[in-house]
Structure 1
Amino acid sequence: MRTHGARPYDSASVNSVSLVQKTRTSCHSQRPSLPRAFGVFRPIVLLKTVRGEILRSREKAEIAVKKGIGWLALSPPFDSWVRCQLWTRVNVVYAHYVGKSVPYFADFYVGSTIERFARDLAALKKHFEFASLAEVVRQDPSRGKPSRPLLALTFDDGFDTLRNGVMEVLDHYAIRATSFVATSTIGNVNLMWRNKLSAIRALREESLYIGQYNSLMPKVGLPGISRGDELLPASRDWPMALKEELVDLLWRACDMPALEEFLDEHRPYFTWEGLERWLAAGHGVGLHTATHPFCSRLGTEGIRAEIEEPAALLKATLGLRFLPFSYPFGVRLGAAAERQLYEDGVFDCAFGINGLVPQGTPAYRLERASMEENLTFNVFGNVLLEGIRRPAGRRSAI
């Protein structure tokens, strides 16, 4: 007899309920414990750790190899050949910031203290005679051969060398250097976009700036990042016309200090008055563009705004009769474009950062060697390697 509302006996229903209960019991019994679940991810973590160690090992090995090659280049029997080669080169070295680590340069800092800078200059002075950049570029054989190859010292990014002790070191060694300035930062009216990114990384939590960066990038169709050390490399893909806007948006999103306050506190760059003092002391000033873009990605309007107009500004304001130009990142314009700028008198010479080039290289195609890392390799070791790599028929005896 059926009671109203009661469900009739149904063996299929009972079996299905039993099956669900058994399945649930089975699932619970088979669910791994928390430590076992984490074990699934251990290979991934291990692979990332191993990859990081391999990269670090490669970097250490590369540094060791470069040190070894630099040592060989200054040791018999190679040293005499290398010195002979340096007589035939346009010898120019460059640095950026010298001093204690600061937020706006923390990502690029390699320990370039005043003490290390002085030691490096003393080491270079054993092999070179320091001269102005104009003298090195325009070497005049009629003036007679100096006792050692000529070498010029340059600085990129326009950091103020009057306030941090650099000027005193240069005076001590009687060296006249050239500072390449980005005109938009003169007078500390702005912070160069790469320096802003470095300051954000130095002063804010990684999770904060990664999150804010990843929120901004879809607006310009670029991917996000997963680690803090990807920020600077990823920014190289930004559209150059938007770099100032993007970095300022990120600066504000990360709740950084008001830019004026930051600049008043740190005052990283030359002022116009400082540049006049620098020139009066016998040093030189060059152009490093207006805002530090990748010049290879500039069109006609970009070349005008980043190179032609800033060059005219420096010449008119400082009365320069010799204006060298250095490429940000060492990334050049096309050969035809830079030759045209040279022939139009926009600049007197142009430098990348790919080592020391032979004399006779066109003035608009010159290069420099870094003195910030692996100095001995960059200046001497590279020359030795180039000699080894030449075809046998063109190689001088070592």
Structure 2
Amino acid sequence: MSFKTKFFRIANPITKNFSFEKFFGSLPFDNLILVYHLVSDEDVKHVKHLFPYRSVRQFEKDLDFLSKHFEFVNWEDYLNQKKTSKPKLLLTFDDGYSEFYNIISPILLRKGIFAINFINPKFIDNKELMWRNKASLLVSEINENNNYKNKISNFSGLGDNLETNISSILKINYENRNQLNEIADFLNIDFNDYLKTNPVYLTTEQLIKLKKDGFGIASHGWDHPLYNQLSLEQQIDNTQKSLDYMMDNQFLNDSFAFPFTDHLLTEQFFDLIFKQNSDLKFTFGAAGLKLDSYSKNIQRIPIETKNYSAEEILKNEIIYYQVLKMLGKNTIKRS
């Protein structure tokens, strides 16, 4: 458990007893960027073991709270630093899940709120299931099927303890992602069949419609790698391939959001990717309220943290930032 997670667990029972106005004056920036993944009232097998997603009711409650205290802006207004009477807020989503088209965009259009969806081009049109989604789906299927529970113990490298086996599956990393295919084959689980009956990602047609409706479509890496497990050359290639897709399809090629985290990314990477892409304005991490020594890399606030509401998360982020500032650790320093 990270220090930040421990801090939130201790702080939240205290901060939830005070109104947001008590914290608002300590907000360190007048521009905030939030990041969600999906919203659903359903049991989403390919996501449920990865992060806690919002229900429709919870999402609308978040938006109503945020609208009271912030002014939602679109990408152009964010770039131009539009003057607003309240702090500006840019809403973003990651991974290009189909729920953005079916559930989220109708809500945002009704409320007049813009958002950018950072997508992985490799998975658009449901050509393949992303490796982390494969892990979650495998765990869901094993938990729901006694035959799978018994059979998985015979897979090479796993044992008789179901909880340990599930943990091992969820820990499989990008480099070893083919192990997920091997486990699926061993259990006779077909990821392609799942995609045919459960469209996980947005389609090209939906992306075009979302663009016409005013939403932004931008890059999240080609196939959702963990960047600090890649070589510098691999980092650049994965990023460039996804930015080229944006250019070829006339989506946004002036922004990029790192999948997972930008932890341990060096100045050399940023220098190279900005040099190669003259239209690129900003890249985005997801470390919460923090400064970054590389000025063009901006940190977003993850909202799907345990079951905290947007209000609770922002209160805790504000307090956490002030603590880090006192310790001189409120800035991510790149080597």
1:186 to 124, 127, 137: 124
Which residue, out of 43, 46, 57, partners 1:101?
43
Q: How many residues align?
A: 315
- 1:135 is matched with 77
- Greater helix percent: which structure? 1
Q: Matches of 1:97 and 1:182 in 2, distance apart?
A: 15
What SS does the aligned partner of 1:168 have? Answer: helix
Alignment CA distance shift 1:342-1:61 (3 Å): closer
Using the TM superposition, give the Cα deviation of residue 163 of structure 1 relative to its aligned residue in structure 2, in angstroms.
4.4
What CA distance in whole angstroms lies between the structure 2 residues aligned with 1:270 and 1:293?
19
User: Structure 1 residues 129, 225: CA separation in 2 closer, same or farther (over 3 Å shift)?
Assistant: same
- Structure showing greater radius of gyration is 1
Correspondence for 2:136 = 198
Partner of residue 322 from structure 2, selected from 378, 387, 391 = 387
The one-letter code of the counterpart of 2:314 is V
CA 1:196–1:216 in structure 2 vs 1: closer, same or farther (change >3 Å)? same
**Which one is further off, 352-361 or 381-390?**
352-361
Aligned 1:210-229 pairs, distance under 5 A? 212=152, 215-217=155-157, 227-229=164-166
For the residues of structure 1 that align with 2:24 and 2:237, how far apart are their CA atoms? Answer: 46
1:209 CA displacement: 6.3
Q: State how far apart, in whole Å, the 2-side matches of 1:253 and 1:324 are.
A: 40
Asked if the contact 1:210–1:227 (Cα under 8 Å) also holds between the matched residues in 2, the reply is: no
Structure 2, unaligned stretches of length 5 or more? 329-335
2:197 is aligned with 1:265: yes
Structure 1: how far apart are the matches of 2:291 and 2:242? 29
Q: CA deviation at 1:261?
A: 1.9
Matches for 1:180-329 after TM superposition, within 5 Å? 180-204=118-142, 205=145, 208=148, 212=152, 215-217=155-157, 227-236=164-173, 240-243=174-177, 245-256=178-189, 258-317=190-249, 319-329=250-260
The change in CA–CA distance for 1:334 and 1:211 in structure 2 (over 3 A counts) is farther
Instruction: For residue 366 of structure 1, give the secondary structure of its aligned residue in structure 2.
Output: strand
1:80 CA drift (Å)? 4.8
Matched, 1:110 2:52: yes
CA contact (8 A) 2:153 2:165 kept: no
Q: How does 1:365-380 map to 2 (within 5 A)?
A: 365-373=297-305, 374=308, 375-380=310-315
**CA-to-partner distance for each residue in 1:9-38, whole Å, 9 max, x for gaps?**
xxxxxxxxxxxxxxxxxxxxxxxxxxxxxx
Match of 1:151, SS?
strand
Distance (Å, rounded) in 2 between the aligned partners of 1:64 and 1:392: 18
- Write the deviation string for residues 77-101 of structure 1: whole angstroms up to 9, x where unpaired: x335225x342xx310011121122
Q: Distance in 2 between matches of 1:210 and 1:342?
A: 51
Provide the rounded CA distance (Å) in 1 between the counterparts of 2:110 and 2:216. Answer: 17
Deviations 1:279-305 (A, max 9, x none): 111110111112111101212442244
TM-score (norm 2): 0.82
**Contact map agreement 2:227 2:262 (CA 8 A) in 1:** yes
| 2:118 partner SS | strand
| Range with greater deviation from structure 2 (378-387 or 293-302) | 378-387
User: Does 1:168 pair with 2:114?
Assistant: no
5+ residue gaps, structure 1, are: 1-54, 219-223, 394-398
Deviation at 1:133, TM superposition (A): 3.6
- CA distance in 1 between partners of 2:111 and 2:44 (Å): 26
Contact 2:135–2:170, Cα closer than 8 Å, also in 1: no
The equivalent of 2:333 in structure 1 is none
Q: Does 1:330 align with 2:274?
A: no
Confirm or deny that 1:120 pairs with 2:53: no
Partner of 2:288: 355
SS class of match (1:104): coil
Equivalence for 2:25: 81
Separation (CA, whole Å) in 2 of partners of 1:103 and 1:109: 11
The one-letter code sitting in structure 2 at the alignment partner of 1:69 is T
**Residue 139 of structure 1: how far off its partner (Å):** 4.2
Aligned to 1:92, what secondary structure does the other structure show?
strand
The change in CA–CA distance for 1:314 and 1:69 in structure 2 (over 3 A counts) is: same
- Does residue 91 of the first structure (1) align with residue 32 of the second (2)? yes
Q: Share of identical aligned residues, percent? A: 19
Alignment partners' CA distance in 2, 1:369 and 1:168: 23
Larger displacement relative to structure 2 (308-317 or 191-200):
308-317
Judging changes above 3 Å, is the alpha-carbon distance between structure 1 residues 246 and 380 closer, same or farther for their aligned structure 2 residues?
A: same
Q: Superposition RMSD on alpha carbons, in Å? A: 3.1
> Post-superposition shift, 1:338?
2.2
Partner Cα separation in structure 2 for residue 61 and residue 310 of structure 1: 36
- 8 Å contact 2:267–2:294 — kept in the other structure? no
Aligned AA (2:70): F
Q: Is the 8 A contact 1:69 1:377 kept in 2?
A: yes
